[in-house]
Structure formats: C-alpha cells, structure tokens
Structure 1
C-alpha cells in the first residue's frame, strides 16, 4: 500500500468517526432538550381530541404550550382548568366563542404574511372567511352568537406607544351583513357631532340585544369608552381613559384597562370595573399592567392574559376590587367560557 493511499484511508476513517460523533452529539442534545422541554414549567400536557362549542362546563383558549398543538384551540374543564388539555386541529391567533358560534383570526399562509377571520360552527369548522387588512389583536362574539367583531393592527403592533392604526369589523351571522370599519359610524359627544381624521376603534364587547355594543375610540392621543348603536351606525362617547371594555354577563358593569399616571410608558394600564348605573370606578387587585381585553369568567370574576414562559398565561381576579390575582391556566390566551 502506497503512502498516499494509506493517508487517504486514514482520512476517510477519521471523517467517518467524526461524522458518527457529530450524529451522536446531535441526538443526545435533542434528547436533553426534549427532557428539558418536558420538565420546563408552563408547558402543560395536551392531547388531540374532540373539542366543540356544544360542550358545557368548559374553558376554551388558544393553546401556547410547545408541541404539535401550539396555537390550536384547546379545552379544559371549568372545574379543573390546570388539568390535561384537549386540542382541536383549528389554529388561531385570536379566538372567542359564545352560543355555538366562534370567531378565529389566523394566518392565511403564503409568501407574504396574510391574515383572515373565520366564522366557526359548533364543531369548530369554518363556515365563512374574510380577509383582514392587518395583524389580529382582538375578537369577540355576542352572547347570542349572532354578532362577531374583530380588530387588527393595520400599522404598528402595540397600544402602548399611541403610534398605531386599527381596523374593527362587525359581522352579522344571521343577515350576512359585514360592517368592515366602525370608523365609518357617526361619533357624538355631549350631544354634538365629533369629527376627526385620526379616529381608531378597537375592542368591541356586545350587549344582549344584538344591537348595542361598547368599544374604545382613540383620537389625539386619548382613549374614550364609546357606546355603539349597530343599526343606527352611531357611537356615543361616554368617558375618557378607558380601553378594551368587557361587558358583564348581567349587563350592569364594564371591565376595562385604564392608563395610570406614573407608570412606565410601555406598561401603563391597570384593570378597573365601571358600574354603569352609578358611574363608579373600582380598581381591581391586579397591580401588574394588563394589555388585554379581559373576559368575564362569571358575574364576579375576570380572566385576562399576562406574559408567561411560553408566551402568555391566563389569570383571574375578583371584579369587586377585593381578593388577589390567581394563575388559572398556564400557556394560554384568548379564552372563551362555555358555562355549565
């Protein structure tokens, strides 16, 4: 065997050994990463299965736990929200449901980022879709399941800085009417017409009559709580410094986030509840900044998202101002309550 051939063989053997070592290292690293992921807090177990809006006594949400079911709709019992979750194949960035109807805002695929709003039936099957002109941020279904609303960022991606633009649409599942932009509604304040080129509207919450609703209107760097008349295509300004309203099941109170002086510019909000009868505001026990549209878990408790290990976690707090916040579901956002 010549010296040259011997060198070639040695190099070939060394290359094979190095390749084998590299493969083993990669496999072992993947195994260790998998074990760490399994043990990491905030990654609850999930299994695929039947999830539907006809089920009772369940809490549905967008699943943020790492794994094949991430970003899909998940379901847990109301009585055991930290138990193993069941995931459906429907993926959503924002989700809400009521009375057998759901709304899902999701990526629509393609080389250029595109998003769509899906109307879901009780089995979470899409029955209609709409292209939306920006990044999903809010979604709501009326108590009857008839009306759907969604908000997207047309420019910007945060409510904190004030330099953003939104588009909010409302869809009537019974008539098939789509209102593509609530900014087209007439706005009044104190009995006088209010006009401005910089109106932004977001965060719709519906009353039980499927006509009246509440939302946020922003203009000139200030936010306002407005009451809307869907059939009359009107908005009435009620008060200043109120964002992302959420009407209580009995229709008497509105939860909202309020900017509080002295807090950081990127985390300025505290949760409050407004009594519509007395106009009394109550600060809630959650002292962290909540950049979310809270949801009423029941007549006395609110749900909301806060940053967590895997994106966000769902917390609860009494609506009375008493008590303290409670971590309800890890790795979850965009909840919907299916009452017993």
Structure 2
C-alpha cells in the first residue's frame, strides 16, 4: 500500500469514527430528551400536566437546557431539586396568583420578532392574548387573580442605564377592561400634580383589584408610588425604590435600591420598606439584585441570580437576619400562590 492509499484509508477511518461519535451523541441526546433529562447533569424534567395553585407545588419558568427550557414547570415544595413537570407553555416572563397566570412570550415570524401577553387559566389554557409594544420585562397578578399587569421596554434594554422607556398595562380579567399605559394616570409627586415628558412606570405589585404599588421614574430619580385604578392616580410615597413587591400582609415592600459607591453596572441591593413607618431595612443579600423579588411567605424573599443555566433562585429572610441561600437551580419567575 503506497502513501496515498494509506492516507485515504486513514481519512476514511477518521470519518467513520466521527460519524459513529456523532450518531452516539445524537442517540444519547434523543434518549435524554425522551426521558426528560436536561443537559450537563441538570434537573430531571418531564412533560406533563401543570396546574396553578396545586397544593404542595411551586410553579416557575424552567431554565434547564433541553427540550423543556423556558416552559412553565412545577416541582414539589418538599423536594425543589427533584423531578420537574413541564407544561409545554413557554414564557419569557411569568407570574400567577388566584388561579390566573400571565405569560409574556416571544412570537417568531421570519426575521421579525414580536411579543404578546397571554392570560391563562389555572390549567394554563389561553383566555385572551394581547400584542405587546416591546420587550417583556415584568409581570404580576393580583392576589385573587382578577387583575394582571405587565411592563415592556419600548426602547433601550436595561433599567441600569438612563436611555430606556417603559410601557405598563393593567388588565381586569373579569371585564377585560385594559389600561394600556399607566403613564396616562395623574401623577402626584409629594402631593403635587406632576407632569413630565420623561415619566416612566414599571414593576406593578397588587394590594387588590383596585390598589397597587409601582415604580415611577422622572428627572433621573425613582419613587415608590401607590396606584389607584378607580381614580386613575399615582401618588409618590418613598424615593429610590424599583421593582416593588408587596408582602402577604400588605405592610411591607421588598424592592431593589440603588446604593452609593456601587458599580453603574451592578447598582442595586435588596431592601424592605415598612409602609407604616417608611423605614427601610437592608437584607443580608449583599450582591447586585436585578429582579422583582417575590415573597415565599411573610418572612422570606425569593429572587433570581445568575447561574449555570442562566438563572437560579435564591432566598433570604426579609428582616435582615440570616444569609442568602440557593433554593432552586435553573429556575426563574416563581409563583407560590397568595399575594406576591
């Protein structure tokens, strides 16, 4: 056998081995998908039925790599690292309460990407859909499930900078009346009517169907506001509050606060405000938090942090004690029921 023939044989052998390796990899991936495994030793995820508010189960957006990434998924509260059940419904932002879910999702159409909001029932069946004006960023449902809210970026892509604009909508799910833009509400800053072209509203959290809290930004500052859908008003309560989250008893607000000396790329820390005294308290979480935290119960906050799969869920006591701990890998946007 001459040199040329030996090279051809060697090349054929390499191609054959490569084909076998690729085939084995694809076969293993297919088997993993059939069995519901995520990549890289992630959590076990299987398709199945997901119901909002099911006793003993949490619902969230699954971030594990594999065929069920971004699907609304449930897991047993007693075993948060255990097997997951994926619904088949994919969302970029999600929240649920009172048997109602709000799912903000991407719609791929050729080279253009659009977004929409889906209102879901307790079995994740679509009730209504609405086109969105921009990129989804926040979503919330009132405690009884009768009102939902969502926020989108209509320019820019980050709260950290100043070149962005938001649009926040509130929808009543019994009458289907829609307030498309909360910036049309009358805004009172320090009890005085305030009008500004740079007004932005985002991060709704509900007290009930009519009353809510949110963030308003104007003139480079942010404020916690109390909103009233019946009167169509927003009234400032406290400065330097972003992405508020109301406690189950309605007395405290968890939020992200810009702190002095922090990097402009990582400016926020997790705080809690007492609505009765307007005294604020830092939590034990000292890292940057770019999330709208949720209350696991009356004592514990849950929020997302970057992880191996894009996002993990962490928790910390709301009273400033204890220390942060990771509660669930490869998860985002949890809903535990009740007022979140």
Fold conserved (TM > 0.5)? yes
Aligned to 2:187: 187
Q: Runs of 5+ in structure 1 lacking a partner?
A: 1-5
- Secondary structure of 1:108's aligned partner: strand
**Mapped partners of 1:192, 1:73: distance in 2:** 43
- Cα offset for 1:64? 0.2
- Is the Cα contact below 8 Å between 2:53 and 2:97 reproduced in 1? no
Q: Runs of 5+ in structure 2 lacking a partner?
A: none
- Secondary structure of 1:56's aligned partner: coil
Aligned to 1:115: 115
**Mapped partners of 1:39, 1:94: distance in 2:** 21
- Cα offset for 1:24? 2.7
1:98-113 aligned at under 5 Å gives the runs 98-111=97-110, 112-113=112-113
- Is the Cα contact below 8 Å between 2:38 and 2:64 reproduced in 1? no
**Mapped partners of 1:137, 1:30: distance in 2:** 35
Residues 287 and 42 (structure 1), Cα distance of their counterparts in 2 relative to 1, 3 Å cut: farther
**Mapped partners of 1:257, 1:274: distance in 2:** 10
1:57-136 aligned at under 5 Å gives the runs 57-111=56-110, 112-136=112-136
1:306-317 aligned at under 5 Å gives the runs 306-317=305-316
- Secondary structure of 1:21's aligned partner: helix
1:1-340 aligned at under 5 Å gives the runs 16-27=12-23, 43-111=42-110, 112-208=112-208, 210-338=209-337
- Secondary structure of 1:266's aligned partner: coil
Residues 309 and 8 (structure 1), Cα distance of their counterparts in 2 relative to 1, 3 Å cut: closer
- Cα offset for 1:190? 2.2
Q: Deviations over 1:127-180 (max 9, x none)?
A: 110000111110000001000000111111111112111111000001110111
- Is the Cα contact below 8 Å between 1:304 and 1:314 reproduced in 2? yes
- Cα offset for 1:31? 7.8
- Secondary structure of 1:204's aligned partner: strand
- Is the Cα contact below 8 Å between 2:38 and 2:65 reproduced in 1? no
**Mapped partners of 2:337, 2:78: distance in 1:** 12
- Cα offset for 1:10? 9.2
Q: Deviations over 1:39-86 (max 9, x none)?
A: 977721111111111412221100000111100001112222222111
- Secondary structure of 1:109's aligned partner: strand
Q: Deviations over 1:87-109 (max 9, x none)?
A: 11111111100111000000122
- Is the Cα contact below 8 Å between 1:58 and 1:338 reproduced in 2? no
**Mapped partners of 1:319, 1:123: distance in 2:** 31
RMSD: 2.6
Residues 295 and 42 (structure 1), Cα distance of their counterparts in 2 relative to 1, 3 Å cut: farther
Residues 33 and 293 (structure 1), Cα distance of their counterparts in 2 relative to 1, 3 Å cut: same
Tell me the TM-score normalised to structure 1 length: 0.91
**Mapped partners of 2:231, 2:176: distance in 1:** 17
> What is the aligned residue count?
333
